[in-house]
Amino acid sequence: MDFTALFKPDTVAVVGVSLANDRHPANVIYNKVHLRYPVKAYPVNPRGGVFKREPVFRSVGEIPGGVDLAVIAVRADLVPQTLADCIASGAGGAVIVSGGFAESGRPDLQERITAMAHAAGFPFIGPNCLGIYSPGKFDTFFLPGERLVRPGAGAVGFVSQSGGVLVDQMVKFTEQGLGLSLAVSIGNKALIRETELLRYLADDPQTRVIAFYVEGFGRNEGRAFVEQAAAIAKPVVVLKAGKTAEGIRAVSSHTASLAGDYKVFSDVLAQHGIAEARSEFELTCFCESLSHYPRGIEGNVGVITVSGGHGALASDICSDLGLRLPRLSEAVQAELRAGLSASIRDIASLGNPVDLTGSSADEDFEAAVGVLGRAPEVDCLLLLLLPYSPGISSDLGARLSDVHQQTGKPLVAYVPHVEKYRILIEGFELNNVPVAASIDGAAFMVEAMRRCRPCSLPKP
């Protein structure tokens, strides 16, 4: 199936627009698409009429010239006829927002629309979903535009079985300054499923990392997903629900999914180098990190800090995650000491973490990043910056990014995310260095790279 009309439409029909209830989901979708996005939107209702000075078409087939995408927001029992009209009129695809299918005990109705679409080669997302968000182009969410938090265009493609998780994750991405190439809420995923979207995003030049919120798979589908994810060049991140008996029951009632054996699924993800995020926070950190550094690392971390306390906290967090902080060799420590300014040369601690103390200046950080960037003991640098330290300037982010680019070793920074330090943060971000708002977040960004490295699990 060709997904171009689904994800890059020029024309959108919204089916189900009400002339009496402006809070109807179809009205919310139409108003937003019509007023906010550079696509042509058409309202559709079998009664016809006029809606906000625009003619209301009685069916998708009545729209002159046809449409690329139909957004269907009608009662479940009306969906089959609406879908048949879309297929007959030559529409390119559909998003079925409507609920009332397998998730509420009507698998027969879901199977009916799926069979129709299969026979016609007609792609649709859903049912029981929010649909598609394409930054700056369109979205099919039945949520008021003024309440949505919209990430800008970026490198992450995100596929979610839950519309609520998707919308909440969009807030977290925005807070982190992380952009989306495409976001899709697939709901019951009656036709288009994770594997089809994985293929599409693997070929999408705007997407550098692919993330999934997964509730469950059909029989043998989980294996196919993992094998396909492992075969593509882009990093894949998975957040899985249904880990406990209670979670499995919730998954079944939400999208009628089979949650499967979580332990087996988790182990298989690790074996194939697919990064499993265990919380929404990890998912955000992983996507940020892997959009900059798609390759895996062993997990030997060199920590550079201005505060001994921050270094100790980072050491504990990294150790708990399974990351290692190897002690630096005498030769590396000697090179480090020689490059430091005279004021801190005798008081800095250089074993790993490298504590440059509160008396350090920009030049000391440049020297440390340069030396550790060449040190064979570590394969990633974790930098803990406290911008209120008097020797640190607002230019340090850009200066360290320049040193980092010369060595090529992954660098992750922690800087408190407040407006006062925005210039320092942008110095990193504009040079493709990820910046976390907490020490935990920075450690998770490093852990993302380790989890993307395939491992051999011990035999039971």
Q: Could you state, in order of their start, the residue ranges of all structural domains in the chain?
A: 1-128, 149-291, 301-449
Tokens found for residue 270: 């690790």
Integer angstrom CA distances of residue 379 from 18, 83, 289? 59, 53, 15
Query: What does the block give as tokens for 133?
Result: 């968000």
Handedness of CA 409, 323, 174, 39 (dihedral sign): positive
Lookup result for tokens 């043998």: 220
Architecture in CATH for domain 1-128: 3-Layer(aba) Sandwich (3.40)
For residues 152 and 287, what is the distance between their CA atoms, to the nearest angstrom?
15
Peptide bond into 353 cis (omega under 30): yes
| pLDDT value of position 459 | 39
Please, which residues bridge with residue 180 across strands? 156
- Rounded CA gap, 116 and 127, in Å? 14
What CATH number is given for 149-291 in this structure?
A: 3.40.50.261
For residue range 357-395, list pLDDT tens digits in order.
Answer: 999 999 999 999 999 999 999 999 999 998 888 999 999
Instruction: Pick the more confident residue, 42 or 220.
Output: 42
Q: Do 1-128 and 301-449 agree at the fold level?
A: yes
What percentage of the chain carries pLDDT values higher than 70? Answer: 95
121-177 pLDDT, tens digit per residue, is 999 999 999 999 999 999 999 998 888 999 999 999 999 999 999 999 999 999 999
Using pLDDT thresholds of 50, 70 and 90, give the confidence band for residue 240: very high
Give how far the C-alpha of residue 375 lies from the chain's centroid of Cα atoms, to the nearest Å.
Answer: 32
- Taking the C-alpha atoms of residue 311 and residue 446, their distance in angstroms, rounded to an integer, is 15
The class that CATH gives domain 301-449 is alpha beta
Q: Grade residue 216 by pLDDT with cuts at 50, 70 and 90.
A: confident
Per-residue pLDDT, 260: 59
C-alpha 53/C-alpha 56 separation (Å) is: 9
pLDDT confidence of 460, banded at 50, 70, 90?
very low
pTM: 0.92
Q: Which of 263, 247, 298 is nearest to 452 (CA)?
A: 298
- Chain centroid, CA 420 distance in Å: 27
pLDDT-based confidence at residue 30 (cuts at 50, 70, 90): very high
Question: Which of 35-49, 94-108, 164-178, 256-270 shows the lowest mean pLDDT across its residues?
Answer: 256-270
What pLDDT, on a 0 to 100 scale, did the predictor assign at position 295? 86
CB atoms within 10 A of CB 80: 14
